[in-house]
Structure 1
Amino acid sequence: MIGAGAVGGTIGARLHQGGHDVLLVARGAHYETLRERGLRLITPGRDQTLRVPVTDRPVPVRDGDVLILATKSQDTVTALDPWPRHLPVVCAQNGVANERTALRRFEQVYGMCVWLPALHTEPGVVAAYGWPRSGLLHVGRYPSGSDELAKQLATDLDRSRLVGVTSPEVMRWKYGKLLTNLANAVEALCGPDPAARPILDKVRDEGAGVLEAAGIPYSTQKEERAQRDGRVDMRAIGGAARSGGSSWQSLARGSGSIEADYLNGEIVLLGRELGIPTPVNEVLRREANRFARERRRPGSMTAEELIGLIGERSAAGFR
């Protein structure tokens, strides 16, 4: 499990609890804490520490090993480079560019569409808010199709307190998730400000318009809700809801980078290729990167400020 943060830590912990041979790959203070104390997994109603094997560097591999990549998209190349090219790679990441990047280097690549509400802001600790299972994970071969490994992965996940689904059209699910993730930057910049609601609608509509113009199919929010219904809902932990999503957490940790180039930036890229203006996503990508670079606190921009910046960019026209 390359990347043992909110998503990778939860998936790795659940597979470990399900009896699978899991190795977490982490770095820095997170690695040191995992090595010395184990992984503290907090879920609704339970707080436990698991002694999952961990490393901070590549190790000798065996037949049957699978790499599950759960880093942020900006770290994909660096994270994969040290590992043997004959291993299957599963991209358990937001965005839609990672699978193609991995396929340049690895022959067997799988997409995993992740709906898994979790939080990682403290070394050695992951809080997973999904209930009664921790997450919904669609798995399929990239660019499309399925095979025995995809089916086995989905089965193993489904038997490990997750919902695993084999999907021959996994990228359709990932493009649908991309539209949802476009709002990550709004939350990271403005926090849970009700005044930002119009921006959430605009950024999704802009993204959907670009995907449709490009002829790219995507799953709907209704489909996703139907898959999760009764199997993965969000519950508070210790009386508190999750503080924020993955981009909010990147700012909260002061990591210096954020995933906006691969979320809002994906829509900007497609828009530029098609000659379609994307001012909302352009501003969100730009400002999220500035916040990360300057290590600004999440939620420290007002919705009014952000609306003003989007208005200025829209008035400037396509360029």
Structure 2
Amino acid sequence: MRYVIIGSGAVGGSIGGRLHESGRSVVLVARGAHFEALRGNGLRLTVPSGTLTLDVPVVAGPEDVALREDDVLVLAVKTQDSDAALQAWAARPVAGGGTAGERLALVCAQNGVENERRALRLFREVYGMCVVLPGTHLEPGSVVAPCGPYTGALVVGRYGAGPDGTVRRIADDLEKSCFLAPVVADVMRWKYGKLLGNLANAVEALCGSVSDDGAARDLVARATAEGAAVLGAAGIAYASGAEITGLRSGTVEPRPVPGEHTHGSSWQSLARGAGSIETDYLNGEIVLLGRSHGVPTPVNAALQQAARESVRLGRAPGALTAEDLERRIAGAVAS
């Protein structure tokens, strides 16, 4: 198998780098300054044991790689970029005939629960991946993955059907590349559980921190409670926080990396000035389901709106306070 990593940021760079390090065939897909840095200097993957410089092949887009029948496409872009990536790759020809959408496996290594459904419109074989992989990508060519003894826990499963030989081979390669990779029949249950945990991402991005701010922690708790109520009303099963904690306990543990601090993906999007943020598919997913099932979600709605506003105005992480957000929530409820 060869792994084509579409989106080589914190998640894609960590997965691709570790697979390459273990001897698997990998192609990274990146753009702009990140592509130039990877092409010129290789991938700098910093892990607790030090910084690896990995000469991983890199391309700028689908037109630059000749697809093979043994390729696995790993989609690691943010959800707001999924549609463009899926359209760009699905119609690409594969050696021996057919297109990527017809012949190749696609793994959604992404937060949220929307990607697999979108992918299945264009790809026959779609696999979900619940990504528990703290990492940071703030500088071109550089990714920090500060956990050990495993770099991450990647729960994988076929979308809409039971496990097959392909997902087991993918999991085996990941297990040999410093990841935990349990294969499950209900991967979306794990992804909905991770979704609840990701509701905190917007609070961290907007307020700058959660751990040392009691008011911010309260917002996270309320956003999570709304999420659980919505999933309950919708009849959607999800892995508990205890299950996700148990998965990584003693295996995917934060370890100090000198000079590095890990932040969530939404915080990183604001810090990089990426021009978009995935909050619409995290907190926004809860808002959508709440509206569909008659469950109020004022906290998640306020976080979604504030995140969109922060992108539009070019705010840095931490530009708002929990008190600012509380006033927005109160105003929305009053109206």
The question of a shared fold, defined as TM-score above 0.5 by the shorter chain, is answered with: yes
Report the Cα offset of residue 45 of structure 1.
2.5
Q: Is the 8 A contact 1:144 1:170 kept in 2?
A: no
Q: Deviations over 1:116-143 (max 9, x none)?
A: 0000010000000111111000000112
SS class of match (2:138): strand
Which amino acid is the alignment partner of residue 151 of structure 2?
Answer: S
Match of 1:151 in 2: 168
Choose which of 163, 175, 182 in structure 2 pairs with 1:165. Answer: 182
Q: CA RMSD in A?
A: 1.0
Q: Deviations over 1:222-275 (max 9, x none)?
A: 111111121110112105431x10000000000110001100110111111112
SS class of match (1:188): helix
Match of 2:133 in 1: 116
Match of 2:247 in 1: 227
SS class of match (2:101): coil
Say whether residues 1:130 and 2:147 are aligned partners: yes
Which amino acid is the alignment partner of residue 118 of structure 1?
Answer: G
Q: Which shifted more, 190-199 or 89-98?
A: 190-199
Which amino acid is the alignment partner of residue 140 of structure 1?
Answer: G
Which amino acid is the alignment partner of residue 241 of structure 1?
Answer: H
Choose which of 16, 20, 29 in structure 2 pairs with 1:16. Answer: 20
CA distance in 1, matches of 2:291, 2:190: 23
Q: Is the 8 A contact 1:180 1:204 kept in 2?
A: yes
Counting matched residue pairs gives 315
CA distance in 2, matches of 1:278, 1:102: 28
Match of 2:285 in 1: 266
CA distance in 1, matches of 2:192, 2:44: 32
Q: Which shifted more, 304-313 or 3-12?
A: 304-313
Normalising to structure 2: TM-score of the pair? Answer: 0.92
SS class of match (1:269): helix
Which amino acid is the alignment partner of residue 166 of structure 2?
Answer: L
CA distance in 2, matches of 1:239, 1:225: 26
CA distance in 2, matches of 1:240, 1:35: 24
Q: Percent identity?
A: 55
**Please, which runs of 5 or more residues in structure 2 have no aligned partner?**
90-99
Choose which of 111, 116, 124 in structure 2 pairs with 1:94. Answer: 111
CA distance in 2, matches of 1:183, 1:313: 20
Q: Is the 8 A contact 1:255 1:295 kept in 2?
A: no
CA distance in 2, matches of 1:93, 1:37: 26
**Please, which runs of 5 or more residues in structure 1 have no aligned partner?**
none
Say whether residues 1:213 and 2:213 are aligned partners: no
Match of 1:50 in 2: 54
Say whether residues 1:190 and 2:207 are aligned partners: yes
CA distance in 1, matches of 2:29, 2:225: 37
User: Taking structure 1 as reference, are residues 144 and 315 closer, same or farther at Cα in structure 2, changes over 3 Å only?
Assistant: farther
List 4+ stretches of structure 1 deviating above 6 A: none
